[in-house]
Structure 1
Amino acid sequence: MKPANHYSDGSLIELNCSKFYVNCIGEGEPIVFLHGGPGSDHRFFLPHVLPLADNFKLVLYDQRGCGTSEQSKENNYSMSDEVDNIELLRIQLGFEKMNLFGESWGSMLALLYATTYPERVQNILLTAAIGVTSEGFERFEVELNDRLSADDKCKLSKLEGYMKTGDASIHDIFNVLDPYYVFSKVSLIHKSNTTYNRVVNECIGEDIRKNYDINDKLNRLSNIPILIAQGSHDILTPSIIRELLVKNIPHAQLIEIEECGHWTIVEKPAEMINIAEQFFTTVSSSNID
């Protein structure tokens, strides 16, 4: 087993006629990490989740067009393709069942996969959760906009214009937005540098707005333990997530991470590791303290 403070460079494997970056760390029951964005990459989780490699096989991968994974030649990206890619990844790696750890958009992807292939999912841990319909995605944008200062709204408007002329980058926009994703700005020093594919974000974002609604499939989750770890000061607060998610999945448990924003893994890594360790080693989420 690799020590928890070490990880390799991973490799590219072919899934659905495209090359995907995949990094497997440790041994044991698999935990597949689903990163956010849409359009970000697996490095968001690093090095924070590495202690889990002492007891589990961690599977970190970049979704299509993200990070080091190959981009779509037609610039077509969709939720259904991402679900298919997870299933192909499972088959390629030889897993009968998997634990899923979904963050932000990844929480939606975890639910999409689990409602499509419930027999392949052991447990689901969601953090920075969004909901079971596009309402959560749209509510996130509204809540974030409400938090923005007038000065930052002005900066963002100007940066959008500068991006069209090549005088600004997406990272300039992140410099304005990132402080709103955390409870304490100091914690931003612990966030890994990640890439971002705006085309992926726009394509899947549009797909979410038009098509994300798993209400009619929620019965397929009834035998899967689900735990939600939501920051107390997330853009979608725990009370909002109770409305958007928990009331629709009554057996799901919700834990509130105190003094924490949207990026629980970055701000409260030790607490998140303890939660994940306990959750993924119990037979049922009802046994969690």
Structure 2
Amino acid sequence: MKIDIGGGVRLFVDVEGPGLVPDGAGMREKPTLICMHGGPGFDHSAFKPGFSVLADIAQIVYYDHRGHGRSDARPSSEWNLDTWADDVVRLCDALGISKPIVLGQSFGGFVAQRYIERHPEHAAKVILSSTSPHMAMERKLAMFEKRGGPEAREAALRFWSDPTPEHWAAYWTSCRHLYNTRPPLDPQAGSRTLIREEILLHFVAGEKQGLNLLPGLASAQCPVLVMAGEDDPVCPLQDAQEMAASLPAQWAKLVSFPGVGHGAWRDDPEAAFAVLREFILA
């Protein structure tokens, strides 16, 4: 379904599971988990069906960021982190959600970090999954070389420093298979993803280049779980360690997964969903 979040902007939204469930003589409200997808330029489909295992403890809201996937197309002037972060609040207002648990995966984690900075009192909890606070180019290049040799390093360097359509195509061919340490559980998952390449290139060439989200993390006013794969080349472990160190100590929790790449649930779903379940229920 499409939800109008104000100003004629419509986001594609999918909801899994009830928010209210029978509990004895009354009804119990489950927490709402909002899943923000990676990219930029991709859609929410990568969360499915894996995240369904959490539907017994949370109502899950999936959506495509403004301009992405099945959401309405929007002008490039709106393709920025401030707008995408504010959309979390707009979407919650439209759906009547208060105190959500907000999970940002990869690029969705950029949005979640900016959301923490701009709306520190809005969430009940935040999960930063396989994400980064800045470019950290040398870390990326070192990890891609470790995982795929000089060819992967060179392809990553060309794309991240000069994001043209040609460099993106070469990077995706040379580096995408290095993101994870195990074959995909669902080999057709990538084929289901709707990609808006123009958003990807716009963001990487622009806002991504000078990005530094670390100062805003000090604004956090709720528990924040940082999840990282120790073999993630695109969002290396050191990035997660920096994010955790920049959060207020009383709110920060860092969990790293050995032998795991980008999106811990892809390579070790049992461990990743156990951590998520514990955090949601705490």
TM, length-normalised to structure 1: 0.79
> Aligned runs of 1:40-189 on 2, under 5 Å?
40-74=42-76, 76-131=78-133, 134-136=134-136, 138-139=137-138, 141-143=140-142, 145-147=144-146, 148-151=148-151, 170=169, 174-185=172-183, 187=185, 189=187
1:274 aligns with 274
The Cα RMSD (Å) is 3.0
Task: Give the superposition deviation at 1:259.
Answer: 1.7
Partner of 2:213, secondary structure, is coil
2:228 aligns with 230
Partner of 2:50, secondary structure, is coil
Q: In 1, distance between residues paired with 2:168 and 2:200?
A: 15
Residues 238/96 of structure 1: CA separation in 2 closer, same or farther (3 Å cut):
same
1:204 aligns with 203
1:13 aligns with 3
In the TM superposition, what whole-angstrom CA distance separates every residue of 1:10-44 from its partner, at most 9, and x where no partner exists? x1122242221100111321111111111111011
Residues 225/36 of structure 1: CA separation in 2 closer, same or farther (3 Å cut):
same
1:4 aligns with none
Q: In 1, distance between residues paired with 2:155 and 2:237?
A: 29
Task: Give the superposition deviation at 1:152.
Answer: 5.1
In the TM superposition, what whole-angstrom CA distance separates every residue of 1:170-228 from its partner, at most 9, and x where no partner exists? 5x75343221101124557374431222221122232132354340x33321x311111
Segment of structure 1 superposing worse, 182-191 or 252-261: 182-191
Contact 1:49 1:269 in 2 (8 A): no
Contact 2:99 2:124 in 1 (8 A): yes
Task: Give the superposition deviation at 1:139.
Answer: 4.8
Q: In 2, distance between residues paired with 1:34 and 1:56?
A: 15
Contact 1:230 1:256 in 2 (8 A): yes
1:286 aligns with none
Q: Which amino acid aligns with 2:109?
A: S
Q: In 2, distance between residues paired with 1:185 and 1:118?
A: 37
Q: Which amino acid aligns with 2:272?
A: M
Q: In 2, distance between residues paired with 1:210 and 1:155?
A: 20
In the TM superposition, what whole-angstrom CA distance separates every residue of 1:54-75 from its partner, at most 9, and x where no partner exists? 1211010011222111121456
Q: In 2, distance between residues paired with 1:263 and 1:87?
A: 25
Q: In 1, distance between residues paired with 2:63 and 2:173?
A: 25
2:25 aligns with none
Partner of 2:124, secondary structure, is strand
Residues 152/229 of structure 1: CA separation in 2 closer, same or farther (3 Å cut):
closer
Q: In 1, distance between residues paired with 2:212 and 2:119?
A: 17
Q: In 2, distance between residues paired with 1:92 and 1:110?
A: 19
Q: In 2, distance between residues paired with 1:155 and 1:106?
A: 24
Q: Which amino acid aligns with 2:243?
A: L
Q: Which amino acid aligns with 1:58?
A: I
Q: In 1, distance between residues paired with 2:259 and 2:87?
A: 35
Q: In 1, distance between residues paired with 2:106 and 2:139?
A: 10
1:258 aligns with 258
How many residues in Structure 1 have an aligned counterpart in Structure 2?
Answer: 261
Partner of 2:35, secondary structure, is strand
Residues 115/153 of structure 1: CA separation in 2 closer, same or farther (3 Å cut):
closer
